[in-house]
Amino acid sequence: MEQPDDSILIKQYLLSLRLGSEGFNISIFDESGMLLSLKRITRSLFSLTSDEIRNAIAPEIQLNYSSIRIICESDTYTFIPAPIFKKEEAADILHFQFKPDKNDQIIYNRIPQWNTMNVFSIPKTVHIALSGLFPEVPVEHHLSYFLSEYIKFRSDSSVYIEVRGNVMDVVVVLNGNLQLINSYGFNTAEDFTYYVLNLFDKLPLETENCRVVLYNAEKRPELQKTLELYLEVIKGER
């Protein structure tokens, strides 16, 4: 019997990189989505040179993949409606809210299902390393990924929260429309709960008919426990 070509099998693999300030994860999946390999590098991403980033990722990129996804965490971002976005104005849009940094690279993502654009920045050292290794693979902001993969269109109102260390990323959907996307730093479960309750105080949200969906908080059970004293919380599946 003729043996299958190894390259065909290899191309069934999927590569996912997620990079953040505390390091990055390199994950390899098979065609069914089963995780085959996970490598964690815990060195601060902002302390690494482009060469160090390339060397850290290099062993995992010797194969050919059918799909590669690169996700970068960044707290420097802003969302605007897609119809009014002009790429030549991307820097001005971001710098309206954040101070310019010559060491940053500005990138933008379109999220078609929400008809919105996410303009964000990552360190140039990271951009140089990634563009050298994966010149044809777009870099996604972590909230672009979150919006496109985990927040499906619903005509009702929901609050979605993803936990990243001591940062909470919040997406509010009001009657099927994006109402707010923001990130808040917190230290305690009480801080976390305060920020969520403040959303209900400031926005036209009703505790009786607004879902609160919490992601990536398995290692911080006190967050959900404290929040549930005031609101019904659903654990989001990833």
pLDDT tens over the chain, length 238 residues: 344 445 444 457 899 999 998 888 999 998 888 999 999 988 877 788 999 998 888 888 877 788 999 999 999 999 999 999 999 999 999 999 999 999 999 999 999 999 999 999 999 999 999 999 999 999 999 999 999 999 988 778 999 999 999 999 999 999 989 999 999 999 999 999 999 999 999 999 999 889 999 999 999 999 999 999 999 999 987 6
| pLDDT score, position 87 | 95
Q: In whole angstroms, what is the distance from residue 71 CA to residue 15 CA?
A: 11
Q: Do 161 and 225 fall into the same domain?
A: yes
The verdict on residue 135 lying in a domain is no
| pLDDT score, position 22 | 82
Q: In whole angstroms, what is the distance from residue 32 CA to residue 126 CA?
A: 30
CATH number at residue 59: 3.30.420.250
Of 97, 122, 147, which closes a domain?
147
Residues spanned by the domain of 111: 77-130+140-147
Contacts of 153 (CB under 8 A, 6+ apart): 113, 176
The verdict on residue 1 lying in a domain is no
Number of structural domains the chain divides into: 3
Beta-carbon count within 10 A of 27 CB: 17
- Are 147 and 82 contacting, i.e. CB atoms less than 8 angstroms apart? no
| pLDDT score, position 47 | 82
Q: Supply the pTM of this predicted model.
A: 0.90
DSSP label of 142: H
| pLDDT score, position 56 | 87
Q: Do 35 and 84 fall into the same domain?
A: no
H or E stretch including 63?
A: none
Q: In whole angstroms, what is the distance from residue 201 CA to residue 187 CA?
A: 21
Q: Do 93 and 62 fall into the same domain?
A: no
